Amino acid sequence: MEPPSIHHPQLGSHTTPGTRGRAANYQHDRFICSVHHQATVLAVFDGHGLPHNGHLISDHCAHNFLPLLQRQRAWQQPNTTREQPDPDMNTALLEVTAQLEGESLTVSDRHRQFAGTTLCAAVIKDGFLYTANVGDSRAVLAIHGAQQTMSSSPAATAIRATQLTRDHNCTEEEEKARIERNGGFVERDRLNGDLDMSRTIGDHEFKKYRNHPQFNRTGRHFGAELLVATPDITCRKLSDDDAFVVVATDGLWTKEIHNELLVVLAEGMFKRGKSATQVAKGLSQFAMASGSTDNITVLVALLKPIAPGRAFSLADRRLFRRFGARFTEDNAAADGENGLRMPRRRARVRSLFHRRTLREEDERTVHGEHHFSEELQMEDPPST
């Protein structure tokens, strides 16, 4: 059976620095949107560190992830079986992540500064969707043909969210057990009371230099690295029911916003004829209106056209009301937000978003990279 015709999806991206104190003056996120005849790649890198160097490792990874992947055999050769995933792609993603981790130590030593980043990548190739994840960024697939899991109504919109990646947080039992097994501890849901992720690229003060007195003030000797960069790799065969993919940093995936809430909002915007870039911006704006203050980067890949129609059903409205949102009569949402009103207490967050819009548009070419094969005519090319 031939795979669905989704090799060259419509792509969109949006990034905003957020509103968290001084961090609002810095954007440590980096991203890649890449489409070629061989494959499509979406990847986000959520950098962290001090305000002046939090981009150090995320910037390096964003510039080198794609070139490293393109050198792999899995990229250069097609998957001839078409029915089974390519094991070489799993190997390629593992090797690329390992190489970036090794290079991050060189970068840190050269600059004599420590920083780190997440990595969340989705690769669409030969009818399969592969993901690689390190940290707490996330990839979610929207699928048609299933009842909403969050709604009790049998008439709920037939779209659901499937989380493709696992968040690497210190509160996750498996991650916490590994940390404690290696002599570390979790305090205030953070690694040794400091870092809130259990896997990252970089952060070598928890790795090579974990026992250096400048960085280890716990009084313990750690025999093994407490923080690792081993990615989770997943693969699934795409079907005609798969609608779109969202890859984003953790600023979008707040505790108050469920995955399904976001895919319903995204589908509604697609139904009203919005582009992938407009949808990415709308999701980012909704997260900020819901209280997110972190850097936010959202990438969207529309795998197949979504037929025009009513943006949000009654079941959708009930779903949004559960999260404090209410709809105006015109729920078209021209930019992803105007048709959706949040409680008044969130108005200040929204106004901060609008003040940053022009700066975000100027920074797109700095914080992300779009790569398009010259022969491909993209429906939603990156704006300048």
* Beta pairing class for 190-191 and 186-187: antiparallel
Rounded to whole angstroms, the Cα distance separating 87 from 323 reads 41
Instruction: Give the three-state DSSP class for 168.
Output: coil
Handedness of CA 15, 19, 21, 24 (dihedral sign): positive
DSSP class of residue 16 equals E
- Model confidence at 18, pLDDT cuts 50, 70, 90, reads confident
Where is mean pLDDT largest: 55-64, 185-194, 307-316? 55-64
Where is mean pLDDT largest: 5-9, 138-142, 359-363? 138-142
The pLDDT of residue 44: 97
- Amino acid letter, residue 348: R
Rounded to whole angstroms, the Cα distance separating 249 from 196 reads 14
Look at the block and give the residue holding tokens 């940290």: 135
Q: Is 217 exposed, middle or buried (0-12, 13-18, 19+ CB in 10 A)?
A: exposed
pLDDT digits (tens, 9 = 90+) for 177-222: 999 888 888 989 998 888 889 999 998 888 888 767 777 777 777 7
What is the CATH code of the structural domain delimited by 10-219+223-372? 3.60.40.10
- Model confidence at 27, pLDDT cuts 50, 70, 90, reads confident
- Model confidence at 368, pLDDT cuts 50, 70, 90, reads low
Rounded to whole angstroms, the Cα distance separating 66 from 61 reads 9
- Region 111-122: what's the mean pLDDT? 93
**Does the pLDDT at position 229 exceed 60?**
yes
The pLDDT of residue 183: 85
What are 210's strand-pairing partners? Answer: none
- Model confidence at 313, pLDDT cuts 50, 70, 90, reads low
The pLDDT of residue 316: 64
- Model confidence at 256, pLDDT cuts 50, 70, 90, reads low
Q: Return mean pLDDT, the chain.
A: 79
Q: What are phi and psi of 127, to 5 degrees?
A: 80, 10
The pLDDT of residue 322: 60
Chain centre distance of CA 98: 20
What are 143's strand-pairing partners? Answer: 160, 242
The H or E element that residue 44 is part of is strand 40-48
- Region 252-267: what's the mean pLDDT? 84
Instruction: Give the three-state DSSP class for 10.
Output: strand
CA end-to-end span of the chain: 40
Greater model confidence, 319 or 179 = 179
Greater model confidence, 212 or 4 = 212
The model carries a pTM of: 0.82
